[in-house]
């Protein structure tokens, strides 16, 4: 980072005391972050590790035992199924709704928008507990369908909130132009709007995927023994510490992290990092 | 899926009805709105209905009057204090995350080599999620972890510092997951401010601090408020890390945990719902205060092309 | 033309707008527009922003439903048809090219929508590409083209369908001045060679005058005047149109004396320390409030301060504009006037001005009608 220079003004970022302070804080944060991730990683490959800087030896056997002990194949399979279903359904429900929100003004639009915002604003536990109760009442909870339904609650609004600005930035006269060229409603959506929406849908879908794989609370409240996702399974393994070897829990955590990292790398090919947290209008390239 | 857009009666003969359907279309009500229906139904069935159900449940305890669950929560200091414990964790964590992000993002505006790499590294903790962060913190900050080894090794302390299984463990976990989130948001808000505004201020004789205080900060303030809200929401719903790296029986017994225990350990769904409602109310109250403050700020364009 | 349901209705003799109106949220955007467009005609809808010209165009296109009135293509009513079934072509202000399709595919899109045989689609697409001279760029995406090239694609996309009517919504307003002139000529050339009936919306009077066979001037959603460029240029029907057509000098005065009756009567107007002779555009009687309007190029600088229609003024601002100067002067009463002259004037010069009687148009003001910029404003600004 020492030679970091901002291009337009040729202003050196290092130099002033305030810059040193800022970079120091960033570096401290990153070192600790590396420590947090690294300690799990090292531990998962270590044999015995008590009070020393590094374990006595290294082994890959914890992964094999974690894979078997926790039945990770099933867990990963459930995680995959649940996440993909959530992505598919939330896109199918969310995209048409965002089209309406982006293109139309109608009475009560603000209320509808607020209703879509609330599930994202509310802590998952707040609505998760009554939701789980309702799902149990109708026989959905305890199996994968309940997990999917619960995860859709924040996902559908997330798709809507991501896609609405995306559709808004598509010039509405492109739709008018298609109609003036003689395209009916169907052709307009399939041949003009559809292809234009693909990048946005892809980005929203990947973000929903990342969030669903990482979603703990809602899955935790609605999953049965056979419908746990990776993150819930990891939580149970950790809270039952002492029963399992620490290292095999670490191995499982590494498996979880690698899954997330793979998703992240894929996601970053399609979306700007800031979109991972929210969609804010980006500055144009200078 | 049947997609329809605004159109007039397709039959070319006969007078058009300029009546109700037209007046509705003029106000934006036409068949396109049907596209909204699945999403509205969905929110009604899976969010509004359960929420209402929970609300009703919270007023229908197994014994006692309609307010008995709330009374039970507020009269028991062990339960009542969870509000302060949660706020005590979430408010400082969200505030630190937002405030620390501002100078760093300010320094990192514009383009420089390695910016993309740095942002990617900062995104990693978001994907780690609370559970892995907790596991990492236990390993790293634990009495035999690398951090304490370094602290003792450097002579900064005589004995390992207790950093996990207490308030600080949860706080650190909130910073690790929350800081990158706040940082990326602030960075994108800051990049949305037209840099020529600051240049204009410079030509008018404003120095570095004046430019920041009088130009950038007021334009950033609405973004700061939004970021704080989102960071607070994230921190306020703290649950797994409070159990795993905190002290769930004492100083980090947060609202979410109290609600969970009421539901799945005591099987008192009324009390659990009541706690969930209190939790939602407290959160919305904080957000409302912040947004109220925000609504008094300049909220127009920040000069960037949009 | 194929006979499928989506086929264009083909050529027409005339297109009639009959009391067309449109309301937005209770506000009138367009009121009672009556207009007959003959085949092959180039019509310009002209007016300041918010005058309803784009609303009129969108109603005609079928992109906006009408609140009142009807549209007839010969004896066939078409306002009930959706936009895609009217067989019109449209060029948008923002070009509205499909960003994910190449130039060629953009131009071919409408032909494909008409379900024409593949060979014909190809032939006519190539024809369209040639027509706007984009052969070299046919495989590029719109984002890779300059503004002018994008505008050519948009025009080709609209005309390649040989539509019965081409609608253009301020197509040149996003181009720089030089390109705008070039494209203006190109649009005129295309209209002359293809003979396509065109309705063109613009807020630029010069553009409208140079392109159109007939102009429709709109204000606050109402038609002010319909006429040929000559009619509009020489005789705007009221002072608002005059203002819009380049009569920069508007003075609120009083009719002192009228000789003759009705239109073209000679009127002496008085006020602001001046007495001027002008030509009435409508019945005026002595004592009426009137607006006197004159173009900057019709205000002449003269040597002798004596004689009829003289105005004494002091030069305030001089703008160099090639052979001519654009000059702002101020009269003794404080009225700012604009004129163009080849004389080399400088700020501070005292000048004598005159206006020919035929060039000073006198518009009667209805009681209570708002007058153009009153004198006090002119002094303070």
CATH at A124: 1.10.3720.10
Q: For residue A58, is it within any domain? A: no
Q: For residue A81, is it within any domain? A: yes
Question: Which of A174, A180, A182 has its CB closest to that of C98?
Answer: A174
pLDDT of residue C225: 93
Instruction: Tell me the domains of chain B and their CATH numbers.
Output: 78-295 (1.10.3720.10)
pLDDT of residue B14: 39
Q: For residue A10, is it within any domain? A: no
Average pLDDT along chain B: 81
Contact status of A29 with chain B (Cβ, < 8 Å) = yes
Nearest Cα to Cα of residue B10 among A185, C122, C149: A185
Is residue B47 predicted with pLDDT exceeding 60?
yes
**Cα distances (Å, whole numbers) of residue B203 to A12, A252, B190, B200, B216:** 21, 58, 21, 5, 15
**Encoding tokens for residue A130?**
């009554």
In C, which residues are within 8 Å of A183 by CB distance? 84, 109-110, 113
Question: Which of A3, A35, A93 has its CB closest to that of B42?
Answer: A93
Q: For residue A9, is it within any domain? A: no
Nearest Cα to Cα of residue C165 among C75, C250, C73: C73
pLDDT of residue C6: 36
> How would you write the pLDDT of chain C (381 residues) with one tens digit per residue?
333 333 344 578 889 999 999 988 778 889 989 999 999 999 999 998 888 899 999 999 988 888 889 999 988 898 888 888 888 999 999 889 999 899 999 999 999 998 899 999 999 999 999 988 899 999 999 989 988 899 999 999 998 988 999 999 999 888 888 888 888 998 998 898 888 899 999 999 899 999 999 999 999 999 999 999 999 998 999 999 998 888 889 988 888 888 877 778 889 998 888 888 999 988 888 888 899 999 999 999 988 777 788 888 999 999 998 889 999 999 988 889 999 999 888 999 999 999 998 899 999 888 777 777 666 544 443
In B, which residues are within 8 Å of C78 by CB distance? 12
Q: Which residue on chain C is closest to B12 by alpha carbon?
A: C80
pLDDT of residue A150: 93
Question: Which of C24, C76, C80 has its CB closest to that of B16?
Answer: C80
Name the CATH superfamily, with its identifier, for domain C247-366: Nucleic acid-binding proteins (2.40.50.140)
Q: Are residues A109 and A246 in the same domain?
A: yes
Contact status of B24 with chain A (Cβ, < 8 Å) = no
User: Cβ–Cβ of C67/B18 closer than 8 Å?
Assistant: yes
H helical segments located in C176-221:
177-194, 205-211
Q: pLDDT band at B129, cuts 50/70/90?
A: low
Neighbours of C377 (CB within 10 A): 10
User: Cβ–Cβ of A182/C62 closer than 8 Å?
Assistant: no
Residues 163-202 of A with CB under 8 A from C: 171, 173-174, 176-184, 187, 191-192, 195-196
Evaluate whether C94 touches C150 at the Cβ level (below 8 Å).
no
| A134, A138, A143, A149: CA torsion to nearest 10 | -60
User: Distance, in angstroms, between C75 CA and closest chain B CA?
Assistant: 11
Question: What percent of chain A is predicted at pLDDT more than 90?
Answer: 15
User: Distance, in angstroms, between B137 CA and closest chain A CA?
Assistant: 6
Q: What residues contact B272, with CB distance under 8 A and at least 6 apart?
A: A129, B259, B260, B262, B263
Residue boundaries of the structural domains of chain C: 14-234, 247-366
pLDDT of residue A244: 66
Q: Which residue on chain A is closest to B146 by alpha carbon?
A: A53
In A, which residues are within 8 Å of B125 by CB distance? 33
Q: What residues contact B267, with CB distance under 8 A and at least 6 apart?
A: none
- Tell me the whole-structure pTM to 2 decimals: 0.80
Q: Are residues A36 and A100 in the same domain?
A: no
Evaluate whether C20 touches C70 at the Cβ level (below 8 Å).
yes
Q: Which residue on chain C is closest to A177 by alpha carbon?
A: C96
**Looking at the 3D structure of chain A, how many domains does it have?**
2
Q: For residue A103, is it within any domain? A: yes
Q: Are residues A31 and A149 in the same domain?
A: no
**Bridge-based pairing state of the strands C27-38 and C14-24:** antiparallel
Q: How far out from the chain centre does Cα C171 lie?
A: 13
User: Cβ–Cβ of A181/C161 closer than 8 Å?
Assistant: yes
In C, which residues are within 8 Å of B26 by CB distance? 23-25, 67
In A, which residues are within 8 Å of B116 by CB distance? 273
Q: pLDDT band at B282, cuts 50/70/90?
A: very high
Subunits touching A (CB < 8 Å, at least 3 pairs)? B, C
User: Distance, in angstroms, between A72 CA and closest chain C CA?
Assistant: 43
User: Cβ–Cβ of C79/B16 closer than 8 Å?
Assistant: yes
Helix (H) and strand (E) counts in chain C: 9, 20
Question: What percent of chain B is predicted at pLDDT more than 90?
Answer: 22
User: Distance, in angstroms, between A198 CA and closest chain C CA?
Assistant: 11
Q: Are residues A173 and A255 in the same domain?
A: yes
Residues 72-111 of C with CB under 8 A from B: 76-82, 85
Q: Is A29 helix (H, G, I), strand (E, B) or coil?
A: helix
**Bridge-based pairing state of the strands C27-38 and C42-46:** unpaired
Query: Torsions phi, psi of A275, nearest 5?
Result: -70, -20
pLDDT in tens, B16-45: 444 566 666 666 667 788 889 999 999 999
Lowest mean pLDDT among A23-37, A61-75, A216-230, C210-224: A61-75
Q: Are residues A126 and A239 in the same domain?
A: yes
pLDDT of residue C375: 61
pLDDT in tens, B164-189: 888 999 999 999 888 888 888 888 88
User: Cβ–Cβ of C68/B22 closer than 8 Å?
Assistant: no
User: Cβ–Cβ of B112/A4 closer than 8 Å?
Assistant: yes
User: Cβ–Cβ of B131/A235 closer than 8 Å?
Assistant: yes
In B, which residues are within 8 Å of A220 by CB distance? 240
pLDDT of residue C374: 62
What domain range is A39 assigned to?
18-47
pLDDT of residue C340: 92
Rg (CA), chain C: 25
Q: For residue A264, is it within any domain? A: yes
Question: Which of B7, B25, B27 has its CB closest to that of C82?
Answer: B7
**Cα distances (Å, whole numbers) of residue A203 to A91, A271, C11, C41:** 11, 6, 47, 49
- Which has more confidence, B159 or C164? C164
Q: Are residues A108 and A203 in the same domain?
A: yes
**Test mutation, C23, C64, C65, chain B, max B CBs within 10 A:** C65
Evaluate whether A37 touches B133 at the Cβ level (below 8 Å).
no
Q: Are residues A229 and A104 in the same domain?
A: yes
Q: Are residues A32 and A140 in the same domain?
A: no
Q: Is C330 helix (H, G, I), strand (E, B) or coil?
A: strand
pLDDT in tens, A102-154: 988 888 888 998 889 888 888 888 888 889 888 888 888 778 899 999 999 99
Q: Are residues A118 and A260 in the same domain?
A: yes
Lowest mean pLDDT among A88-97, B84-93, B290-299, C152-161: B290-299
Distance between CA C80 and CA C84 in Å, rounded?
12
Q: Are residues A125 and A260 in the same domain?
A: yes
Nearest Cα to Cα of residue A121 among B286, C238, C304: B286
- Which has more confidence, C256 or A280? C256
pLDDT in tens, B51-101: 999 999 889 888 888 888 899 899 998 888 999 999 999 999 999 999 988
**Residue A266 host element (H or E):** helix A246-270
**Residue C236 host element (H or E):** none
Contact status of B40 with chain A (Cβ, < 8 Å) = yes
How many Cβ pairs closer than 8 A exist between chain A and C? 70
According to CATH, what is the number of the domain C14-234?
A: 3.40.50.300
Query: Torsions phi, psi of C167, nearest 5?
Result: -110, 130
C30 pairs with which residues across the strands? Answer: C22
pLDDT of residue B64: 80
Nearest Cα to Cα of residue A209 among A146, A244, A259, A168: A259
Q: pLDDT band at B264, cuts 50/70/90?
A: confident
Contact status of B117 with chain A (Cβ, < 8 Å) = no
pLDDT of residue C381: 38
Is residue A257 predicted with pLDDT exceeding 70?
yes
Question: Which of A173, A184, A195 has its CB closest to that of C92?
Answer: A173
Contact status of B239 with chain A (Cβ, < 8 Å) = yes
Q: Is B253 helix (H, G, I), strand (E, B) or coil?
A: coil
User: Cβ–Cβ of B127/A260 closer than 8 Å?
Assistant: yes
Q: Which residue on chain B is closest to C76 by alpha carbon?
A: B12
**Encoding tokens for residue A272?**
């700007």
Q: For residue A40, is it within any domain? A: yes
Q: For residue A7, is it within any domain? A: no
Q: What residues contact A62, with CB distance under 8 A and at least 6 apart?
A: A44, A45, A245, A247, A248, A250, A251
Q: Are residues A40 and A67 in the same domain?
A: no
Question: Which of A171, A179, A196 has its CB closest to that of C94?
Answer: A171
pLDDT in tens, A198-211: 888 888 888 888 88
Question: Which of B39, B179, B260 has its CB closest to that of A93?
Answer: B39
Q: Is C363 helix (H, G, I), strand (E, B) or coil?
A: strand
Subunits touching C (CB < 8 Å, at least 3 pairs)? A, B
């Amino acid at each position: 980072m020492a030679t970091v220079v901002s291009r337009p003004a040729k202003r050196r970022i290092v130099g002033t005391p305030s810059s040193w302070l800022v970079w120091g804080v960033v570096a401290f944060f990153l070192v600790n972050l590396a420590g947090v991730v690294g300690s799990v990683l090292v531990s998962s490959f270590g044999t015995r590790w008590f009070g020393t800087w590094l374990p006595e030896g290294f082994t890959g056997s914890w992964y094999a035992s974690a894979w078997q002990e926790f039945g990770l194949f099933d867990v990963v399979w459930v995680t995959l199924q649940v996440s993909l279903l959530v992505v598919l359904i939330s896109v199918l429900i969310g995209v048409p709704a965002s089209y309406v929100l982006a293109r139309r003004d109608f009475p009560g639009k603000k209320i509808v928008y607020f209703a879509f915002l609330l599930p994202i604003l509310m802590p998952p536990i707040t609505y998760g507990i009554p939701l789980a109760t309702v799902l149990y009442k109708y026989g959905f909870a305890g199996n994968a369908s309940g997990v999917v339904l619960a995860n859709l609650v924040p996902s559908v609004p997330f798709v809507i909130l991501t896609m609405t600005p995306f559709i808004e930035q598509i010039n509405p006269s492109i739709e008018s132009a298609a109609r003036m060229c003689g395209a009916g409603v169907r052709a307009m959506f399939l041949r003009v709007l559809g292809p234009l929406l693909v990048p946005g849908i892809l980005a929203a879908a990947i973000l929903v995927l990342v969030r669903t794989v990482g979603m703990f609370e809602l899955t935790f409240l609605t999953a049965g023994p056979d419908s746990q996702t990776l993150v819930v399974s990891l939580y149970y393994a950790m809270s039952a510490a002492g029963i399992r070897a620490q290292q095999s829990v670490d191995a499982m955590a590494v498996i979880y992290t690698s899954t997330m990292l793979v998703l992240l790398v894929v996601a970053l090919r399609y979306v700007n990092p800031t979109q991972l947290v929210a969609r804010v209008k980006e500055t144009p390239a200078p | 899926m049947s997609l329809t857009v605004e159109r007039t009666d397709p039959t070319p003969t006969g007078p058009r009805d300029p009546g109700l359907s037209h007046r509705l279309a003029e106000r934006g009500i036409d068949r396109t709105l049907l596209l909204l229906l699945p999403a509205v139904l969905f929110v009604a069935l899976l969010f509004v209905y359960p929420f209402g159900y929970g609300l009703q449940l919270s007023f229908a305890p197994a014994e006692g009057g309609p307010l008995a669950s709330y009374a039970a929560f507020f009269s028991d200091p062990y339960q009542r204090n969870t509000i302060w414990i949660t706020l005590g964790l979430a408010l400082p964590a969200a505030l630190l995350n937002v405030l620390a992000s501002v100078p760093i993002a300010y320094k990192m505006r514009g383009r420089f080599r390695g910016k993309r790499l740095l942002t990617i590294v900062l995104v990693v903790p978001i994907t780690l999620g609370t559970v892995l962060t907790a596991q990492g913190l236990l390993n790293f900050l634990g009495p035999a972890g690398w951090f304490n080894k370094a602290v003792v090794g450097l002579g900064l302390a005589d004995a390992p510092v207790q950093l996990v299984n207490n308030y600080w463990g949860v706080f650190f976990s909130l910073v690790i997951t929350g800081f990158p989130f706040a940082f990326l948001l602030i960075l994108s808000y800051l990049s949305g401010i037209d840099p020529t505004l600051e240049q204009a201020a410079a030509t008018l004789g404003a120095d570095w601090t004046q430019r920041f205080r009088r130009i950038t900060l007021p334009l950033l303030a609405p973004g700061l408020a939004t970021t704080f809200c989102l960071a607070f929401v994230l921190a306020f719903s703290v649950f797994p890390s409070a159990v795993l790296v905190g002290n769930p029986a004492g100083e980090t017994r947060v609202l979410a945990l109290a609600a969970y225990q009421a539901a799945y350990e005591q099987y008192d769904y009324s009390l659990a719902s009541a706690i969930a409602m209190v939790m939602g109310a407290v959160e919305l109250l904080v957000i409302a205060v912040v947004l109220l403050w925000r609504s008094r700020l300049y909220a127009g364009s920040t000069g960037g092309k949009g | 033309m194929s006979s499928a349901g989506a086929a264009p209705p083909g050529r027409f003799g005339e297109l009639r707008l009959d009391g067309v109106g449109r309301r937005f949220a209770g506000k009138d955007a367009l009121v009672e527009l009556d207009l007959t467009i003959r085949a092959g005609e180039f019509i310009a809808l002209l007016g300041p922003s918010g005058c309803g010209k784009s609303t009129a165009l969108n109603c005609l296109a079928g992109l906006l439903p009408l609140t009142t009135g009807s549209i007839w293509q010969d004896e066939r009513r078409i306002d009930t048809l959706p936009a895609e079934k009217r067989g019109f072509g449209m060029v948008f202000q923002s070009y509205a090219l499909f960003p994910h399709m190449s130039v060629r595919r953009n131009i071919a899109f409408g032909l494909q929508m008409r379900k024409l045989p593949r060979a014909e689609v190809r032939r006519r697409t190539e024809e369209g590409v040639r027509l706007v001279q984009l052969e070299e760029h046919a495989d590029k995406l719109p984002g890779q083209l300059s503004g002018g090239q994008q505008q050519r694609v948009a025009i080709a996309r609209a005309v390649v369908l040989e539509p019965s009517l081409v609608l253009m919504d301020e197509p040149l307003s996003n181009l720089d001045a030089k390109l705008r002139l070039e494209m203006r000529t190109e649009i005129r050339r295309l209209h002359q060679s293809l003979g396509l009936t065109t309705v063109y919306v613009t807020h630029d009077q010069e553009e409208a005058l140079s392109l159109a066979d007939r102009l429709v001037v709109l204000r606050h959603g109402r038609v002010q005047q319909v006429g040929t460029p000559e009619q509009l240029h020489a005789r705007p029907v009221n002072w608002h149109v005059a203002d819009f057509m380049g009569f920069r000098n508007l003075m609120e005065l009083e009719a002192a004396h009228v000789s003759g009756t009705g239109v073209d009567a000679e009127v002496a107007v008085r006020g602001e320390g001046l007495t001027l002779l002008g030509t009435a555009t409508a019945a005026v009687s002595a004592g009426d409030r009137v607006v006197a309007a004159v173009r900057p190029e019709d205000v002449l600088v003269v040597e002798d301060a004596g004689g009829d229609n003289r105005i004494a003024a002091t030069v305030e601002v001089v703008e160099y504009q090639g052979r001519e100067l654009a000059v702002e002067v101020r009269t003794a009463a404080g009225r700012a006037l604009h004129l163009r002259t080849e004389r080399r004037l400088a700020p501070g010069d005292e000048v004598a001005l005159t206006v020919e009687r035929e060039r000073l148009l006198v518009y009667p003001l209805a009681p209570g009608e708002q007058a153009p910029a009153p004198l006090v404003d002119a002094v303070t600004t």
